[in-house]
Amino acid sequence: MAERLSERGFEVVEADNGEKAIQFLEQFAFDVVITDLRLPGIDGTRVIETALERYPGIVGIVITGYGTMKDAVDAIKRGASDFIAKPFQFDELMHVLQKAIEQRRLKSENAYLRSQLEERYQFAGILGRSRPMRELFTLLETVSRSASTILITGETGTGKEVVARAIHHSSPRRAHRFVALNCSAIPETLLEAELFGHVRGAFTGAVGTRQGRMEQAHKGTLFLDEVGTMSTALQMKLLRALQEREFERVGDSHTVKVDVRFIAATNSDLAKMVAEGAFREDLYYRLNVIPMQLPPLRERRDDIPLLVTHFLEKFAPGTGMHVSQAAMRALMAYGWPGNVRQLENAVERAVALGVGRNEIDNTDLPPEIQALPQTASTPFVDFPEDGLDLPAYLSSIERDLIRRSLERTGGNRNKAAELLKIKRTTLVEKLKRIGED
């Protein structure tokens, strides 16, 4: 076998037992390992497992006799590419080998194309190919180069902090710190000290001098999340810091000057809060130099397949796990009040429930998505960049529905026509047209 493979252009290394094979695998990244299942010492299954642990992309082919066929199937389940039963012709081995190599090439190519697709439809890790997201990417490319203050608005879960980080890491300040502060997560009595820092003895518990987030962000970016929850008194101090790029630590009279880019975010309607007197108008305009509104997920449903693919690769890397069309239709039909964060959680849950399978179905989705009436699920179509052949697409849907109606009725055309709400003669004509009469 080694001689024949060498004649076909393969560079072959032989091992007379499993231990020797594993030693070779530790020393070199082989493309293919072919092993008999029955070996002295370590058996072929362990050789394959070791090869795959070290090189997940390796092609593993096992050779088996009739009595070890079950073991060969187990090896396939553990990651081997294929098996071949003894006795066999060399051409049969070449066919299995070439098929496995081609499958690996296609898998590698698909992974590359997927990465290219994500690169094409992303900005610093933010994914999207819908019109609202393409417009957002254009704006991000422009504002990242400036030092202007940005106000990001959008519903909870739309990714406001992700966008803020993307702006920072695409800006000239990327070499310095990105510092985030959630204004709603810290008690009002401590928020000022957290933002500006404090000196020893400034208040009970202040046992030493401490830098605030603004000072930590010097030459970098300070992200103020949920800025609308700040008290009016603290808003005034923030306004001065924005205007002068200087402040005093709590309990200190010494002025600290900083070079900071401010990005603020809120899911509140600040303009409405200004009208109601709950937010300072001058601070609002100081923050709202460059407004950025993030679209909710329900307004960018065509991004859902791209996001689902991304999250599947995150939670089940290299498994080839995918979502069934029925599950994708349900994901597309749901309203997503929690936006991208909720979608990510739903995919993580589905991956956990679908362990051991390569397809996620409706039953793996959260109950609130499963509970959607079927009429709410519109067919999902991944719209190609170069357009869609609508007549051909509609024809394929019609063909599929006709076949499914006949399967459900056991081939009874009268009942199938009733299911499809058409006349029997119409069904017969359609069957003739699609060549299944």
Between 19-33, 359-373, 376-390, the lowest mean confidence (pLDDT) is in: 376-390
- pLDDT value at position 122? 58
pLDDT for position 377: 43
- Note the pLDDT of residue 266: 95
Per-residue confidence band for 376, with pLDDT thresholds at 50, 70 and 90: very low
Structure tokens that stand for 403 in this block: 């076949």
* Structural tokens at position 419: 């299911």
**Gap between the Cα atoms of 240 and 260, Å rounded:** 13
3-state secondary structure of 335: coil
Average pLDDT, integer, range 395-423 = 86
Lowest model confidence (mean pLDDT) among 230-239, 262-271, 317-326: 317-326
What is the structure's pLDDT at 113? 53
pTM: 0.60
DSSP letter for each residue of 56-71? TT-EEEEEE-GGGHHH
Position with higher pLDDT, 212 vs 78: 212
What is the SS3 assignment for 152?
strand
Element spanning 257, H or E? strand 255-257
Average of pLDDT values for 136-145? 91
The pLDDT > 90 percentage for the chain reads 40
Q: What is the reported pLDDT for 384?
A: 59
Cα separation, 67 vs 47, whole angstroms: 19
Taking residues 272-294, report their average pLDDT: 95
Q: Higher confidence at residue 283 or residue 410?
A: 283
Q: Which of 61-70, 108-117, 262-271, 343-352 has the lowest mean pLDDT?
A: 108-117
What pLDDT does residue 73 have? 75
Q: Which domains does the chain have, with CATH numbers?
A: 2-117 (3.40.50.2300), 126-295 (3.40.50.300), 313-376 (1.10.8.60), 390-433 (1.10.10)
